[in-house]
Amino acid sequence: MLKIAVLGCGRIGRMHAENINSHQRATLVGVYDVVKEASRSVAQKLGVREFESAAEIFASAEVDAVLIATSTATHADFIEQAVAAGKPILCEKPIDLSLARVRCCAARIAGSDVPIMLGFVRRFDTGHRAVRQAIEAGQIGELHQVVITSRDPDIAPDAYIEVSGGIFRDMTIHDFDMARFILGEEIETVTAAGARLVSPALMERCDDWDTVSVLMTTASGKQCVIGNSRRAVYGYDQRVEAFGNEGMAISENRTESNLRLSRATFTDQAPPLQNFFIERYAQAFASEIDAFVNAVEKGVAPEVGFDDGEKALMLAEAALLSVREGRTVRMEELG
Ligand SMILES: NC(=O)c1ccc[n+]([C@@H]2O[C@H](COP(=O)([O-])OP(=O)(O)OC[C@H]3O[C@@H](n4cnc5c(N)ncnc54)[C@H](O)[C@@H]3O)[C@@H](O)[C@H]2O)c1
């Protein structure tokens, strides 16, 4: 049994704690949150230990591995501390909002063989993964284009947007990782457009955009287009499409049931889309824990690591630069 402790008992930490607790080859040793009530309620609900500090977790011989689900600004520090303590890490995305801080963290942990997995959960969605597998199996021939659509059901509260780091680092970051995962090769150029159509005043104040499109190309000429909106009135819109010279593979939205209703006045009416990420990616979040446990047990590198976190953030920086300067950005500009 892999004994895991969870840092951070907010919206996502609580869910991870429950997933670890119900995993067959992992045990939730305990939890810690800087807000006592948050860790206490999870500890009591799941019958596990409430740690007094992060340092207590890193020093504990009872803890084999850690899951970092605290606020983004703490991730890089906790990664460094966990590496120093020799505890394998599953860390929520992003590593940090600053590329300089991510690179400083990379330098500090260089040479360590402590496994680090980044929580790019969408790679573990069976639908999105099946698109990648179809490409690998040659089912669509040579890959030419990828289209990723990712729209939130509604804009987050102002307080969240204000500290989010902007749409590219906060939201599109998942799609940048999905683009790399589906394309299977590195991206060379990024061209992005941003607009303030959902909440213009808030976006103006935060110097951010709520509606963005990104066009990326690879050295071999493959193209990927990402479309994001902070608000889709019909719900959490999550689709991935891969187009090749011999076919196409699509990972579609998921609805609450498979029912499709047709009547005299309409056809194919479906139940609402699964809302929001905790529901839509429930299977993926559970599979992500499973992938982490497997990697640590087998002593192999996790399939999505620190490097992937840095590369996704570099793509976010490139997109930001592209919108600000109204031009195509070459990835080599980011060093
Ligand atoms: N993979 C995904 O799809 C996904 C979705 C949502 C959030 N996230 C990421 O997960 C992280 C947490 O997001 P959330 O929505 O759960 O936020 P949240 O605000 O609900 O929870 C964060 C928790 O961390 C705690 N915390 C902050 N600083 C701490 C510290 N120094 N020590 C211990 N606890 C501390 C806070 O008290 C809070 O309870 C963020 O980095 C976010 O980007 C990932």
Q: Distance, CA 124 to ligand 1 centroid (Å)?
A: 20
Residue nearest to atom 41 of ligand 1 (CA): 72
Q: Whose CA is nearest to atom 17 of ligand 1?
A: 10
Q: Are 322 and 103 in contact (CB under 8 A)?
A: no
Give the distance (Å) from ligand 1 centre to CA of residue 12.
6
Q: How far is the CA of 282 from the centre of ligand 1 (A)?
A: 17
pLDDT of residue 38: 98
pLDDT of residue 335: 86
How many CA atoms does the CB half-sphere of 280 hold within 13 Å?
A: 24
Low-confidence ranges of the chain (pLDDT < 50): none
Are 77 and 55 in contact by the 8 Å Cβ rule? The answer is: no
State the Rg of the chain over Cα.
Answer: 20
pLDDT tens-digit series, residues 118-151: 999 999 999 999 999 999 999 999 999 999 999 9
Strands (E) located in 93-219: 116-119, 143-151, 187-195, 211-218
Residue appearing with tokens 């939730």: 28
Residues 147 and 250: beta-carbon distance below 8 Å: no
Contact 155, 230 (CB under 8 A): yes
How high does pLDDT run on average in the chain? 97
What separation in Å is there between the alpha carbon of 216 and the centre of ligand 1? 30
Q: List all residues whose CB is within 6 A of at least one atom of ligand 1.
A: 7-13, 32-35, 38, 54, 69-72, 74, 92-93, 119, 121, 277
Per DSSP (E only), the strands in 114-205 are 116-119, 143-151, 187-195
Enumerate domains of the chain plus CATH numbers.
2-114 (3.40.50.720), 125-280+312-334 (3.30.360.10)
Residues 222-260 pLDDT 10s: 999 999 999 999 999 999 999 999 999 999 999 999 999
